[in-house]
Amino acid sequence: MSLVVLAAAVLGLIAGAYARAAADGFGPEPDGSRESRRGEMRTALAAAARTVPLPRPPYAVEGATALAAALVTWRVHDGWVLTAWLYAVAAGAVLAEVDRRTWRLPDAITLPSYPILLALLAPSGRLLPAVASGCALGAVYAVLWFVRPTGLGLGDVKLAGLIGLLTGALGVQATVVAGMAGQVLGALYAVGLLLARRATRTTEFPFGPFMLAGALVAVALAGALPGASPGG
């Protein structure tokens, strides 16, 4: 393992501790106003600022963030694309933890992430395929939400657009893999719950973490996909 990847893992471990603390600032669904979103973000940032960046049991958030940071640093070679992915790792850690706790993906994180990712990807020369893929994956999830709104939330649709942006910078094939992998991972989790008799066919669960895991599957396979690029 290179020192750069190892350093990314260590930074991911620290970022995971901050992400877990920031998730404490997000509660049940707010009223949706801009001021409400700003209030949530201020609360989350204040919670993170008070945190000593040391992992604490059960270490799931910190460990997952460290592994994700190491993976994208290993697989993505273009500096700007890598920066976008590392931002997404940190933001995604907060989103996954909030979704796990409250079954929501806060607009306070997803919406500002669009201009941030666009700005980071623009110098890479991969903005056009990234935007096209973001629109495509977002549209697919929008249709799924429209057909079965109880199965997905609008937060999942917004997250899909972000995942499409990121994976589109690696190639259209990576976006397809991310979308399919998220669905497969979610389905496997549901089957596991059924087999363990901890759920029924109508049981719902937060889907955001599986979408984010699907994106990591795509970046892990980027170099092996026909026509896909590991970002540089």
pLDDT score of 51: 63
pLDDT score of 179: 97
pLDDT score of 6: 95
| pLDDT surpassing 80 at residue 33 | no
Predicted TM-score of the model (pTM): 0.88
**Per residue in 90-108, pLDDT tens?**
999 999 999 999 999 999 9
> Has residue 230 been placed in a domain?
no
User: What's the start-to-end Cα distance of the chain, in Å?
Assistant: 20
> Has residue 232 been placed in a domain?
no
User: What integer is the mean pLDDT of 216-229?
Assistant: 78
pLDDT score of 163: 98
> Has residue 7 been placed in a domain?
yes
Number of domains in the chain: 1
25 pLDDT tier (thresholds 50, 70, 90): confident
Give the CB-side neighbour count of residue 188, counting CA atoms within 13 A: 10
User: What integer is the mean pLDDT of 71-100?
Assistant: 96
Helix (H) or strand (E) holding 33: none
> Has residue 91 been placed in a domain?
yes
Instruction: Determine what percent of the chain is predicted with pLDDT higher than 90.
Output: 68
| pLDDT surpassing 80 at residue 43 | no
pLDDT score of 201: 74
Instruction: Determine what percent of the chain is predicted with pLDDT higher than 70.
Output: 82
User: Which is more confident, 215 or 18?
Assistant: 215
pLDDT score of 47: 63
> Has residue 44 been placed in a domain?
yes
> Has residue 27 been placed in a domain?
yes
pLDDT score of 144: 93
Q: Are 104 and 61 in contact (CB under 8 A)?
A: no
> Has residue 53 been placed in a domain?
yes
Torsional sign, CA 4, 211, 163, 21: negative
What separation in angstroms does the CA of 51 have from each of 13, 15, 20, 60, 120?
14, 11, 10, 17, 28
User: 34 lies in which domain range?
Assistant: 3-224
> Has residue 21 been placed in a domain?
yes
